[in-house]
Structure 1
Amino acid sequence: MSDDAPRPYGFDTLQIHAGARPDPATGARQTPIYQNTGYVFRDAEHAAALFNLQEVGFIYSRLTNPTVAVLQERIATLEGGVGAICTGSGHAAQLMALFPLMSPGDDIVVCNRLYGGTVTQFSQTIKRFGWKAKFVDADKPGEVAKACGKRTKAIFCESICNPGGYVTDIPKIAAVAERKGVPLIVDNTSATPYLCKPIEMGATLVVHSTTKYLSGSGQAMGGVIVDSGTFDWSASDKFPSLSEPEPAYHGLKFHETFGPLAFTFNGIAIGLRDLGMTQSPMNAFLTLLGIETLSLRMEKHVANAKKLAEWLENDPRVASVSYAGLKSSPYYRRARKVYPNGAGALFTVALKGGYDACVKMVDGVEIFSHVANLGDTRSLIIHSASTTHRQLTPEQQVAAGAGPDVVRLSIGIEDADDLIADLDQALAKATA
């Protein structure tokens, strides 16, 4: 082996350059917005090869688009995957991740600490496909293993859980998934690949709502599924969509034909083709711009979150703060080990005044914005039990860390002292 092998690029370089090249037609350095639907084929033979999956290229923007393709490669590179599929939203990414794996009667084992919309999607919506979700405590790997049955097709968790900021021990859950012969799907939205690399810890697939930290400014909807390329889809008969002949492509077997890229090609050729959950070129362009400053923003997000959490923890008006970056957190040691760059910037605060104090605090902020989003450069606040987690039962709300006495904070990149002053005056209003 030559000693002159190129050194691997660092994260800061990859977040700017991965997947991108100067535009061959114009020399434009920034990735253009290819705002078009179709692409001219060289000839009939070229068109047939593309439609037969014998050649990679652009056919129709529901399937592939040059701007979106750059975003897919960039996120896959940052996550350490072999490929990625961009979708119109994070919720679309979750369904697209399950689509090649599931059949009617199948189930997934799911962490019970999840974003409220995900809980609703998994506990209610997927029933219409004949799928089922089993909710368990991911802090107890034995329960995760026990819940896996013959019809279990995946295990799903969040790296840093929304809204409570709990951190999942991904290596332990990945070990369970490996023993059970099923893929582990990790929602890495709240952590981003800067704080957490689930694939390096054994995850098969990683999903994001790119709407959040990857975009960073609350201006572009999107989602993505990253394929690790490490799962053996042909090791059993559990995943026929990937291992068995596909009728729509004259008996082609995705895993046999595409190897590590089987899931990625299936997601584009079948998932996007038939479900149409496509990300727009404009949103892909805006997300690419956001990713260019991801590491810089995440460092500031985390530093601000730690400072605010420590201040809130010592405030007599606060009952508790759920943030794994605090030494008092039961997740502190885990976070230091699994998330060495920080425990994120999302956490909850329980107020001694209960529900009424929470509502008054939300209404009393001036810099924080009352918004149903997270991962913005701006600091955001919301009362999860009455909004994002409203559809859940009281028991589910408490399990998810979204009880009625709790507000969720998404800490932005403003001046930390200004944010503290804003929370201080809002708490004064809430407890007056």
Structure 2
Amino acid sequence: MSNYHIETKCIQEGFKPGNGEPRVLPIYQSTTFKYDSSEHVGKLFDLTEEGFFYTRLANPTVDSVERKIAALEGGISAMCTSSGQAANLIAVINICNAGDHMIVSNAIYGGTINLFAVTLKRMGIEVSFVNPDASLEELQKEVKENTKLVFAETIANPTLIVTDLEKFATLAHNNQIPLIIDNTFATPINCRPFEFGADIVTHSTSKYMDGHAVALGGVIVDSGNFNWDNGKFSGLSTPDESYHGMVYTRDCGKNAYITKARVQLMRDLGSAPTPNNAFLLNLGLETLHLRMERHCSNALKVAEYLEKNDKIAWVNYPGLKSNKYYDLAQKYMPKGSSGVISYGIKGGREAAVKFMDSLKLAAIVVHVADARTGVLHPASTTHRQLSDQQLLDAGITPDLIRMSIGIENVDDIIADIEQALSSL
């Protein structure tokens, strides 16, 4: 891995063209690859040779993007998936089996809550949801003998709660289990969780990494720092009879975690990204550092405007000095948090709906974190499957509006908000 600054890595890492080869990462739109001998293909399956044999497991375009993202996060390896949900699912079941338990912050995306609380429960994996603001002593009480991991988001979607990464890392490591952090909102431009003790990082690359709302995707990145051979993770440290009896910790060293995820779970679940989507993701990554700077500066100006407007009941943005999580945001994300803000309109849910319907530049979309300003009412959309108690636990009130501030001219964004507020 190079010593380039992260801005340079966004452009230069991943794909290294040779003499006379394309300067821009090509799309290898092929499901399979040709070899001259059966022996060579056999070595590929044995992982004794590097190469590509089937795009579900590996593809040159996807591989280049994986290398770039690993470099951006400061990890040793990465595996792209078809969506962020697939990334979180595989990241967890790569080390959790039926009968295992995990500790999860309750301030996470509603779809992830459903994945863990409903689908994983049906698979026999128990989940304890915890308040991320709880003390280390309180969190420790949730740990069980069969607890296998701790999971949280850097910045919670949509409540924007900032996780104390070092506190959660201490909880995990005191109990010899890994910390998995979903770093989607912050991106590695604003926060690199491995530097604060995280062991695995996930992303929905459909958000800021892609940046243009054109390509679904996810990624899992391994720090290479966790000791999977500590006796708690038999799936990694005992023979896998479905893959030649391979012992991942013995045969793959620091790459044990990602190798198992790829040759066992990606093989069986098939949640592979397309080469075309990987190509589009790479284009987004090349400008990630520029876009995040504009997203954050625009969001701060919009948040400051809303904080002074008498039609706004409250504003939540970690970049505001008045925000409860300002100090944590400054500690973990001194360059900015993200372009997402949340706020409430005086008049409650009815006023919020009228306001959103009156916006002209900002579109009502079930998406977040792309170049265009978008708005959503989470309680009735992305989080509508949650119970009233789950909504309250996740900090989602009936009047909460989530606005993803784009990279347009900020004066135009504020003017749009102003005209919509004038309709109330």
Structure 2 CA distance, aligned partners of 1:124 and 1:224? 22
Match of 2:381 in 1: 387
Report the alpha carbon displacement of residue 7 of structure 1 after superposing the two structures with TM.
7.6
Structure 2 CA distance, aligned partners of 1:291 and 1:170? 24
Structure 2 CA distance, aligned partners of 1:208 and 1:250? 31
Name the count of aligned residue pairs.
423
Report the alpha carbon displacement of residue 190 of structure 1 after superposing the two structures with TM.
0.4
Say whether the 8 Å CA contact 2:77–2:223 is kept in structure 1. yes
Say whether the 8 Å CA contact 1:85–1:264 is kept in structure 2. yes
- Within the alignment, does 1:136 sit opposite 2:122 as a pair? no
Q: Deviations over 1:83-109 (max 9, x none)?
A: 001000000000110122111111110
- Within the alignment, does 1:318 sit opposite 2:312 as a pair? yes
Q: Deviations over 1:357-388 (max 9, x none)?
A: 11111111111111111111001100000000
**What is the DSSP-based 3-state SS (H/G/I as helix, E as strand, rest coil) of the residue aligned with 1:124?**
helix
Structure 2 CA distance, aligned partners of 1:254 and 1:137? 34
Structure 2 CA distance, aligned partners of 1:111 and 1:410? 22
- Within the alignment, does 1:292 sit opposite 2:286 as a pair? yes
- Within the alignment, does 1:73 sit opposite 2:101 as a pair? no
Report the alpha carbon displacement of residue 56 of structure 1 after superposing the two structures with TM.
2.0
- TM-score norm. by structure 1 comes to 0.96
Q: Deviations over 1:30-50 (max 9, x none)?
A: 100001000112311111111
- Within the alignment, does 1:90 sit opposite 2:76 as a pair? no
- Within the alignment, does 1:412 sit opposite 2:410 as a pair? no
Match of 2:210 in 1: 215
Structure 1 ranges of 4+ moved more than 4 A: none
**What is the DSSP-based 3-state SS (H/G/I as helix, E as strand, rest coil) of the residue aligned with 2:379?**
helix
Q: Deviations over 1:374-409 (max 9, x none)?
A: 111001100000000101111221232321111001
- Within the alignment, does 1:37 sit opposite 2:34 as a pair? no
Report the alpha carbon displacement of residue 22 of structure 1 after superposing the two structures with TM.
1.9
Instruction: Note the 1:41-120 alignment, pairs <5 A.
Output: 41-120=35-114
Instruction: Note the 1:363-374 alignment, pairs <5 A.
Output: 363-374=357-368
Report the alpha carbon displacement of residue 78 of structure 1 after superposing the two structures with TM.
0.2
- TM-score norm. by structure 2 comes to 0.98
- Within the alignment, does 1:121 sit opposite 2:115 as a pair? yes
CA RMSD of aligned residues (A): 1.2
Structure 2 CA distance, aligned partners of 1:68 and 1:122? 27
**What is the DSSP-based 3-state SS (H/G/I as helix, E as strand, rest coil) of the residue aligned with 2:116?**
helix
Instruction: Note the 1:323-342 alignment, pairs <5 A.
Output: 323-342=317-336
Greater alpha carbon shift after TM alignment, 317-326 vs 7-16:
7-16
Q: What residue identity is the alignment partner of 2:369?
A: G
Query: Where does structure 1 lack aligned partners over 5 or more consecutive residues?
Result: 1-5
Structure 1 CA distance, aligned partners of 2:180 and 2:130? 15
Question: Alignment partner for residue 197 of structure 1, among 192, 196, 201?
Answer: 192
Structure 2 CA distance, aligned partners of 1:258 and 1:290? 31
Report the alpha carbon displacement of residue 348 of structure 1 after superposing the two structures with TM.
0.8
Q: Deviations over 1:237-281 (max 9, x none)?
A: x21111111102232210111111101111111111111000010
User: Percent identical across equivalent pairs?
Assistant: 45
Q: Deviations over 1:36-88 (max 9, x none)?
A: 00011231111111111222210100000000001100000000000001000
Match of 1:159 in 2: 154
Q: Deviations over 1:116-137 (max 9, x none)?
A: 1111111111122111211001
Say whether the 8 Å CA contact 2:229–2:249 is kept in structure 1. yes
Say whether the 8 Å CA contact 2:185–2:337 is kept in structure 1. no
Structure 2 CA distance, aligned partners of 1:187 and 1:263? 17
Match of 1:226 in 2: 221
Report the alpha carbon displacement of residue 145 of structure 1 after superposing the two structures with TM.
1.9
**What is the DSSP-based 3-state SS (H/G/I as helix, E as strand, rest coil) of the residue aligned with 1:300?**
helix
Structure 2 CA distance, aligned partners of 1:261 and 1:390? 39
Match of 1:3 in 2: none
Structure 2 CA distance, aligned partners of 1:193 and 1:275? 27
Match of 2:181 in 1: 186
Q: What residue identity is the alignment partner of 2:62?
A: V
Query: Where does structure 2 lack aligned partners over 5 or more consecutive residues?
Result: none
- Within the alignment, does 1:170 sit opposite 2:165 as a pair? yes
Say whether the 8 Å CA contact 1:245–1:252 is kept in structure 2. yes
* Cα separation, partners in 2 of 1:7 and 1:134, compared to 1, 3 Å: closer
Q: What residue identity is the alignment partner of 2:16?
A: R
Match of 1:242 in 2: 236
